[in-house]
Amino acid sequence: MSFLAGNYPKVAYLQNITPDKIDRYKLIRLEKIVKTTVNHELTILRRFFNLAIDRDYIPNNPANKVDFLKITDQKRPRFLSGEEIQRLQGELENSRFKLMIDILLYTGMRVGELINLEWEDIDFGRRQINIRPKLGWSPKAGKERNIPLSGKVRDLLSSLDRKCTHLFHSRTGNKVNRNHLREAFIRACRRASIENATLHTLRHTFASQLVMKGIDLYTVSQLLGHSDLKSTQIYSHLSQDHLRGAVERLEF
């Protein structure tokens, strides 16, 4: 989050940051991320400026005069159906990114978590993937977590070489470029006639498929690394559909 780069309002000193500049920042961010994430960033800004006030850097908090975005009905998440997954995987058959997309589907990891995975993060003995900070990168909210290493994912990882630090790397040995992965995914979706899907859709698909198989929301929340069960409530309608289907099959 920076006021000094890109199209964001440019300021050199804290005291030059005004509510108007934060409002502009808010609108620019809204073009790239969802409302809840924008509100989360505003919360961080308020805490930052409060700290600056405590240290006598500035006299007041400009973020206090900026309204949070109103969130009305939460949109139901877009997830891939079983048929769409098969079509997507078919279009990726000869792509070097297929394995990455498969692992996103089977783990629910965030894209940044996957790209920054190093071999030392994979604990085959304990059968878990450790998500933890790296130099220049940190998990969401700086929170470390462990993801169970399923047999399927373990088999997928066994096909990788261990010549580089990162599991997924470019031909030069650097970690995979996020934009290259995204572009490969978009092209595959276009060929597979899959609409309104992003890489984050794979995370929604992981969670949705679990809920539809009867896994409780608390467990899904833990697997996704949500800090609050409220974030997982967007899948609750799928849980109700599953329960309704179970009751419909009841016969005496």
Active-site residues, by number, are 110, 140, 200, 203, 226, 235
Sheet holding 122-123, edge to edge: 122-123, 128-131, 145-148
Burial class of residue 210 in the structure, from the number of CB atoms within 10 Å of its CB (0-12 exposed, 13-18 middle, 19+ buried): buried
